[in-house]
Structure 1
Amino acid sequence: MRDRTAVITGAGSGIGRATALSLARRGANIVVADLDEARTRAVTDEIVQGGGAAIAVHGDVAHQSTFDALKQAAVHRFGTVDIVMNNVGVLTRGRPDHLPVAEWERIITVNLLSVVRSNAVFLPLLVEQGHGHIVNTASFAGLYTYAYDRLPYAASKAAVVQLSEGLRLYLQPQGIGVTVLCPGPVATDIAASLPPAFGPEVDTRGPGEQFGVLDPAVVGEQVAEAILSNTFMLCTHPQVRDLLVERATDWDAFMDRQAAAVAMPESGAETRPSSGSA
Structure 2
Amino acid sequence: MESLKNATVIVTGASSGIGKATALAVARRGANVVVADLDDSGAGAVVEQIEALGVQALAIHSDVGDDNAFSVLRDETLTEFGRVDVVMNNAGVLTRGLPEEIPVAEWERVLNINLMSVVRSNAVFLPILLEQGSGHLVNTASFAGLYSYAYDRTPYAASKAAIVQLSEALVLYLRPRGIGVTVLCPGPVETNIMASIRTFGQETATRGPGAQFGIKQPEEVGELVAEAIVANTFMLPTDNQVVDVLVDRARDWDGFITKSIAAWADTPIRPVPQSGASL
TM-score normalised to structure 1 length: 0.97
The aligned counterpart of 2:94 is 91
Q: Structure 2: where are the runs of 5+ without partners?
A: none
Q: List aligned pairs for 1:1-278, cutoff 5 A.
A: 1-195=4-198, 197-266=199-268, 269-273=269-273, 274-278=275-279
CA distance in 2, matches of 1:262, 1:108: 27
Q: Which amino acid aligns with 1:251?
A: W
Residue 45 of structure 1 deviates from its aligned partner by 1.1
Paired residues of 1:5 and 1:31 also in contact (CA < 8 A): yes
Deviation at 1:271, TM superposition (A): 3.7
Distance of 2:260 and 2:105 partners within structure 1: 28
Q: Deviations over 1:207-258 (max 9, x none)?
A: 1111010110000000000001000000000111000000000000101111
Distance 2:257 2:55 in 1: 48
Which segments of 5 or more consecutive residues in structure 1 lack a partner in the other structure?
A: none
Distance 1:106 1:263 in 2: 31
Secondary structure of 1:64's counterpart equals coil
CA distance in 1 between counterparts of 2:192 and 2:152 reads 19
By how many angstroms is 1:46 displaced? 1.1
More displaced stretch, 46-55 vs 131-140: 46-55
User: Secondary structure of the equivalent of 1:211?
Assistant: coil
CA apart distance, 1:275: 1.4
The more displaced of 18-27 and 46-55 is 46-55
Distance (Å, rounded) in 2 between the aligned partners of 1:261 and 1:62:
37
How far apart, CA to CA, are the structure 1 residues paired with 2:58 and 2:202?
44
What is the CA distance between 1:261 and its match in structure 2? 2.1
The count of aligned residue pairs is 275
Q: TM-score, normalised by structure 2?
A: 0.97
Q: How far 1:148 moved relative to its partner? A: 0.2
RMSD: 1.0
